[in-house]
Structure 1
Amino acid sequence: MPKIGMRDLRRAQLIDATLQTIDQSGLSGTTLATVAQRANISTGIVSHYFGGKDGLLEATMRHVLRDLWEATMRRRLAAKPEPRARLRAIVAANFDVSQVNTPVMKTWLAFWAESMHQPTLRRLQRVNTRRLYSNLCAEFEKALPRAASRRAATGLAAMIDGLWLRGATTGEPFDTKAALRLANDYIDLLLDARAKARTRKSA
Structure 2
Amino acid sequence: MPKVGMPPLRRKALINAAISAIGDRGSLDVTMTEIANRAGVSSALAHHYFGAKDDLIQATMRHLLTDLGRDAVGALNAAETPRDRVTAIIRVNFAVGQFRPEVVHAWLAFYVEAQKSAPLRRLLRVYSRRLYSNLMSGLIDLVPRPEAERMAEAIAAMIDGLYIRRALRDGLPRPLTAAALVEDYVETKLRMLAAS
Question: How does the TM-score come out when normalised to structure 1?
Answer: 0.89
1:125 to 1:69, Cα distance in 2 relative to 1, 3 A: same
Q: Contact 1:111–1:121 at 8 Å: present in 2 too?
A: yes
Alignment of 1:88-127 (within 5 A): 88-127=87-126
Which secondary structure state, in structure 2, belongs to the residue aligned with residue 143 of structure 1? coil
Letter in 1 for 2:11: R
Instruction: State whether structure 2 residue 8 is matched by structure 1 residue 8.
Output: yes
- 1:52 aligns to what? 52
The structure with higher relative contact order (CA 8 Å, sep 6+) is 2
Q: Contact 2:104–2:166 at 8 Å: present in 1 too?
A: no
* Deviation for aligned residue 1:124: 0.1
Task: Tell me how far apart the structure 2 counterparts of residues 19 and 171 of structure 1 sit (CA, whole Å).
Answer: 21
Instruction: State whether structure 2 residue 194 is matched by structure 1 residue 186.
Output: no
- 1:195 aligns to what? 194
- 1:74 aligns to what? 74
Identity %: 42
Which secondary structure state, in structure 1, belongs to the residue aligned with residue 97 of structure 2? helix
* Deviation for aligned residue 1:109: 1.3
Instruction: State whether structure 2 residue 78 is matched by structure 1 residue 84.
Output: no
Which secondary structure state, in structure 1, belongs to the residue aligned with residue 179 of structure 2? helix
* Deviation for aligned residue 1:78: 2.4
* Deviation for aligned residue 1:173: 4.7
Q: Which ranges of structure 2 fall in alignment gaps of 5 or more residues?
A: none
Aligned length: 196
- 2:157 aligns to what? 158
* Deviation for aligned residue 1:67: 1.4
The farther-off stretch of 162-171 and 115-124 is: 162-171
- 1:176 aligns to what? 175
Task: Tell me how far apart the structure 2 counterparts of residues 115 and 12 of structure 1 sit (CA, whole Å).
Answer: 23
Task: Tell me how far apart the structure 1 counterparts of residues 17 and 42 of structure 2 sit (CA, whole Å).
Answer: 13
1:68-108 CA-partner distances (Å, limit 9, x unpaired): 112212222223x2122110110011111122111111111
* Deviation for aligned residue 1:152: 1.3
* Deviation for aligned residue 1:177: 2.2
Q: Contact 1:100–1:168 at 8 Å: present in 2 too?
A: no
Task: Tell me how far apart the structure 2 counterparts of residues 2 and 172 of structure 1 sit (CA, whole Å).
Answer: 48
- 2:145 aligns to what? 146
Q: Contact 1:90–1:136 at 8 Å: present in 2 too?
A: yes
Q: Contact 2:165–2:171 at 8 Å: present in 1 too?
A: no
Question: How does the TM-score come out when normalised to structure 2?
Answer: 0.92
Task: Tell me how far apart the structure 1 counterparts of residues 176 and 36 of structure 2 sit (CA, whole Å).
Answer: 37
Task: Tell me how far apart the structure 2 counterparts of residues 130 and 186 of structure 1 sit (CA, whole Å).
Answer: 21
Which structure has the bigger radius of gyration?
Answer: 1
Letter in 2 for 1:14: L
Which secondary structure state, in structure 1, belongs to the residue aligned with residue 165 of structure 2? helix
Task: Tell me how far apart the structure 1 counterparts of residues 6 and 13 of structure 2 sit (CA, whole Å).
Answer: 10
1:146 to 1:26, Cα distance in 2 relative to 1, 3 A: closer
Task: Tell me how far apart the structure 1 counterparts of residues 115 and 4 of structure 2 sit (CA, whole Å).
Answer: 38
Alignment of 1:122-133 (within 5 A): 122-133=121-132
Instruction: State whether structure 2 residue 37 is matched by structure 1 residue 21.
Output: no
Q: Contact 1:23–1:107 at 8 Å: present in 2 too?
A: yes
Q: Contact 2:85–2:137 at 8 Å: present in 1 too?
A: no
1:28 to 1:146, Cα distance in 2 relative to 1, 3 A: closer
